[in-house]
Amino acid sequence: MSVQQMNDRLLEKIQRKEAVIGVIGLGYVGLPLAIEFSNTGFPVIGFDIDEGKVNALNAGESYIKHIPAEKVKGISQHEKPFTATADFSRLRGVDCIIICVPTPLNKYREPDISFVLDTTRTIAGHLQPGQLVVLESSTYPGTTDEDMRTILETTGLKAGEDFYLAYSPEREDPNNPDFALSSIPKIVGGYTPGCLEAARTLYGSVVARVVPVSSTRAAEAAKLLENIYRAVNIALVNEMKLLFDRMDIDVWEVIDAAKTKPFGFQAFYPGPGLGGHCIPVDPFYLTWKAREYDFSTRFIELAGEINTAMPHYVVERTVQALNEHGAPVKGARILLLGLAYKRDVDDMRESPSLKLIELFRERGARVDYNDPYIPVMPHLRRYHYEMASVPLTVETLAQYDCAVIATDHSCYDYGFIVEHSRLIIDTRNAAAEHVGEKVVKA
C-alpha cells in the first residue's frame, strides 16, 4: 500500500467515524477527550495503568468530581460503546492513539517526560502501519519529532511514511462552565504535511475549529507560551501584592479599579502560589530546553521565583498575625480551608496548599484541612500526608488559632467562617465583605 493509499484509508475511516480511537491516560485530560470522541460516534478504547480507574469506568463510575457518573454510563451504552483497559496489546487494533499522560517536574524542577517516553515505548511494541500517534501532554519543543519519533522508528516503521505523528496540546480547564472541549480551538502540528492532515481531520470531527501550525515544535511552543503568559502576569500581580502590602494599599482594590479600563489591561489575581498542572510546570520546560541553545530565559525564571515564594509569604503573614493575637506559631492549631488548586474542583496537582502544610509543620504548627471535594488526601508524588478533611462546624472552627483560606470554594459560607473563627488569613480575597480585625489579607 502506497503512502497516499494509506493516508486516504485513514482519513476515510475518520470521516465515517469508523476509526478506533485509543486514549492513553484517563485523568483530567484523557477522560474528557475519550468522552467527547465517544459522544461524537467513534469507537473508543481508554488505556490506563491504574486498574482501579479502569474498573470504575467499566462499571459506569466517575472518579473526577466535575465529570458526573451519568456521562460515563452514557458512553458505555452507545452503539459503539466505550471500554477501558489496562491491556496495552489492544493498541494493535486502534487507528488513532492519543497520549494524555503526566509531564511533571522532578525534585530539581527539571522536566520529567518519563511517562511520555515509557508510553511511547509501549506503543512501539504494538505499532501498526497506518496508525496515527498524537501527543497532548505539555512538553518542550522537540519531544514529539525528536524523542518520540526516535523510539517509534526503532520498529523499522518511518514517521510520515508508515505511520503518522503529531502534537496537539490539551487546553482543558476543569469545571469551567464557559468552555466545553468541543468549543475550544485545537492547535495541531504534524511531523509531515500528511501527519498534519491526519491529525487535523481527526480533531476536526470533534471540535469546532482546528488551528494548524507548521510543525510539532510550533504546536509544543504555543502551549508553553499560553501558560508562560499567565505565569508571568500572575507573578506581576503577586509582586504588586507584596509591595502594596508594605505600602498599606489593598491590591484587590487596585486590580478592580484598573480593570475598568476597556482596553490595554487584563486582570490577573494574586494568590498563595501557583497550582494546577500547566502554569507552575510549563515555564520550566522551556527554561530547561533553552539551555541547549545557550539562552537564559531571565524573565520566565524571575516569574518562577516570585510565584514559588508566595507560600512562604503566606506563612510569614500568618506568623505575624498569630503573634499580634498572642499566639506563637509553634504549637498553634491551623485549619487550612481548601486543598484543591482552584475553586470547586477536586484537582490537587501542584496545589500551593500542599506546600503550605509543609511550611507550617516546619514551624511547629499543627495543621488540619477542610475541603468538601477531597474528603481524604491521597498519596501524591511529592507529598504523603495521612490526613482527612475535618468538618466545618462552630465547634471545629473554635478549636483553631487560625483559619487560612487557601482555596475559595464557592460552597464556603465566609460569613459563618469569619464569625466563628479566632483569626482568618485570606489569600484569595474571599472574605472581602467581612473585613475586620479578625481578617488578615495575605
Integer Cα distance of 198 and 16 in angstroms: 14
Question: What angle, 0 to 180 degrees and rounded to 10, lies between the N-to-C axes of helices 352-362 and 298-324?
Answer: 50
Integer Cα distance of 429 and 54 in angstroms: 40
Integer Cα distance of 180 and 207 in angstroms: 9
Asked if 76 and 59 touch (Cβ cutoff 8 Å), the reply is no
**Is 278 part of the annotated catalytic residue set?**
yes
| H helix or E strand, kind and range, residue 298 | helix 298-324
3 state DSSP class of 333: strand
* Backbone φ, ψ for residue 441 (5° rounding): -80, 135
* Backbone φ, ψ for residue 434 (5° rounding): -125, 35
Integer Cα distance of 281 and 105 in angstroms: 7
Q: Within the chain, what is the greatest distance between any pair of CA atoms?
A: 80
Which residues are paired to 257 by β-bridges? none
Cell, residue 407: 482555596
Integer Cα distance of 109 and 266 in angstroms: 29
- 288 Cα distance to chain centroid: 20
Q: What is the DSSP letter of 145?
A: I
Integer Cα distance of 178 and 419 in angstroms: 33
Asked if 26 and 45 touch (Cβ cutoff 8 Å), the reply is no
Instruction: Select which of 96, 100, 195, 278 is catalytic.
Output: 278
Cell, residue 19: 476509526
Query: Mind telling me the catalytic residues?
Result: 278
